[in-house]
Amino acid sequence: MRALLFLARRLLAAAGTLLAVSIVLFAGSEVLPGDAAAASLGTNATAEQTAAVRAELGLDRPLAVRYAEWVGNAVRGDLGDSIVERAPVTEIVAIPLADTALLTVLAALATIVLATAIGLAAGLRPGSRLDRVLSSGALVAVSVPQFVIAGLLVLLFSTVLGWFPAVSLIPAGGAPLDRPEILVLPVAALTIFAAAWASRLIRAIVIDADTAPNVEAARLAGLPESVVIRRHLLPATVGPAAQAFAWLASALFGGTAVVEQIFNYPGLSETLVSAVRHHDTPVLEGVGLLLAAIIIGSLVVADLVGLLANPKLRTA
């Protein structure tokens, strides 16, 4: 009951946040120099021609009116039409978004497993040789730019070993899942960075939980180490770890932009680059709103996990 109430309140707050994001997005794309009318006509257009196209696209109406119309439609699932392709944004974006999401979800799963394992191994014996090796490795991995990691992966696994393709070639009309081997290197490039980053957070969370008086008491009571960890230590780490992983959503989506370009992967990155070039504001705004919704959504999920993992919040 309390969890439901919490969820309702949290969703309401998330909707408010999303609305704020939509205002920033709309205002932001509005202040960019030039507009779609000018961009679609090229440099030789006369002022009359530009004005005519602007009128046709509805760009001559006041800002507030256009924003209200956009948000109203977005709530009903209509993100407007692309100016360049003259097709609904949702249609244009659907497939690249699904491909990018595939990359992100795989990388997120790999990150959660890897970061939890590394964070636990390092955090349970801070200062040990294993911890020093893992922690400095993680530090190196977060310090090296992602395109360098991707480049090294290509060099090793594609050029030298020839195990995986360096570029994501997909037959026309196909999907990345038709050729799963093309996913390996992009996912690895994303995971190495994110797992290194998250494992440092998990390590700190584990160290914090390990010195809690209840964990010390459980050890002094003679419980086996596996029980101490599973029953007394881990529950306290679930909430904070969920928060750490929720922030991954934004880091991973950010990372895909670079990784997709390097591997020539058919995701959102390509769609966004071309939309920026052609000043296709409906596409930019639509994608921005979708990504914001996904990130805010994952934070809500993290809050809910934290709530369910804490009996004090769950039952009181």
The residue ranges that bind other proteins (CB under 8 A) are 212-224, 227, 231-232, 235-236, 309-312, 315-316
What amino acid occupies position 18? L
List the structure tokens of 130.
């294993």
List the structure tokens of 226.
């596996």
Contact yes or no for 227/129 (Cβ under 8 A): no
Q: Measured between alpha carbons, how far is 257 from 26 in angstroms, rounded to an integer? A: 21
Q: Measured between alpha carbons, how far is 57 from 79 in angstroms, rounded to an integer? A: 15
Q: Measured between alpha carbons, how far is 68 from 64 in angstroms, rounded to an integer? A: 6
Backbone angles phi, psi at 81, to 5 degrees: -105, 145
Contact yes or no for 262/151 (Cβ under 8 A): yes
Q: Measured between alpha carbons, how far is 256 from 236 in angstroms, rounded to an integer? A: 32
Short-list 110, 105, 139, CA closest to 122: 139
Q: Residue 268 class from Cβ within 10 Å (0-12 exposed, 13-18 middle, 19+ buried)?
A: buried
Short-list 9, 10, 34, CA closest to 246: 10
Nearer to other proteins, 122 or 190 (CB): 122
Backbone angles phi, psi at 189, to 5 degrees: -60, -40
Terminal CA-to-CA distance of the chain, rounded, Å?
11
Contact yes or no for 27/70 (Cβ under 8 A): no
Contact yes or no for 191/151 (Cβ under 8 A): no
